[in-house]
Amino acid sequence: MYRNHPSVVRRAFTLVELVVVIGIIMLLIAIALPSLTNARNYANTVQCANNLRQLAMALIGYANENQGAFPPSSVETTQFWYQQDKIGQWITTPLVLSDGTLGNGVMRCPSDFDDAVRSYAMNVFADSSVSTFVSDDLNSDEPSGQLFKFGVADSSQMILLTDSWSELAVTPTGYAAEALIGWNGPPGARFGAGDGINWTGGRFGTRASQIDFSRHRTVHNRSMTDPIGAANFAFVDGHVALWQTTDLADFTTGKSRYVALWSEIDEKADSY
């Protein structure tokens, strides 16, 4: 004798229930997304700092073999600090361009644009062979700074490298930062304080500073080219620090706060 078993009724989700579930998922994503974005940005900033630290050690390695002089960078001699024959023995990069310069790898900040191959510039006053227009300034009555070598006083404050705009087309590879930074205007203005330096050219238009402060900023309701945000700096002693623009300069007086120095005469250069 067989018994009739009651049939099992399978109940499907209603449209309302599906909408509610989807809504909850979207809410959770919206809550988590800023945290994920912040975590990614922080990781990029740390990687950028590591890049600069390796580059600083490469420049120091070069200086140790050249009586304290850092690599030359001059348009007139087409010699630049980022050439393979200058620092290639101390770093490895995935890209060697046709002109013998290095790109990508430690040369590129992960927060830079995808088409960038070089993101950093060296302080012009660390240069061992400057262009004529720089030497003319250095020999003037009111020089913007003075050259220095490895072992300079206040080495923990003396800028060696920093984030800069990847604006020069490197055909057909991508875009690269200029080799040098810091020869325009008084020290405070180079950080974008006061009237800044009115830097023009390249693909980003007019900017108040050669330093790209947009890569590591936490405030995003600003124009990309505003000198608001933070940048990584490598110093002559080899350490790297992340500095906010307002920590670097007084934007009311336009003067540097002298926590990061371009050269040994920054205070004098700020007073002209």
245-272 pLDDT, tens digit each: 999 999 999 999 999 999 999 999 998 8
pLDDT digits (tens, 9 = 90+) for 81-135: 999 999 999 998 889 998 899 999 999 999 999 999 999 999 999 999 988 989 9
> What's the predicted TM-score (pTM) here?
0.86
Q: Where are the domains of the chain?
A: 15-269
Q: What angle do CA 59, 61, 62 make, to 5 degrees?
A: 65
Output 241 or 173, whichever has higher pLDDT: 241
Least-confidence region, from 54-63, 66-75, 122-131, 213-222? 213-222
Is the pLDDT at 12 greater than 70, yes or no?
no
Q: What is the mean pLDDT of residues 190-207?
A: 91
In whole angstroms, give the CA distance from residue 67 to residue 236. 15
Q: What angle do CA 158, 236, 92 make, to 5 degrees?
A: 140
Q: Are 248 and 192 in contact (CB under 8 A)?
A: no
* Tokens standing for residue 184: 């325009």
* Tokens standing for residue 246: 């307002």
Residue-wise burial string across 110-123, b where 16 or more C-beta atoms lie within 10 A, e elsewhere: bbbeeebbbbbbbb
Least-confidence region, from 95-99, 186-190, 191-195, 217-221? 217-221
Q: Return the pLDDT at 213.
A: 95
pLDDT digits (tens, 9 = 90+) for 148-179: 999 999 999 999 999 999 999 998 899 999 99
Read off the pLDDT band of 36 (50, 70, 90): low
Q: Are 123 and 262 in contact (CB under 8 A)?
A: yes
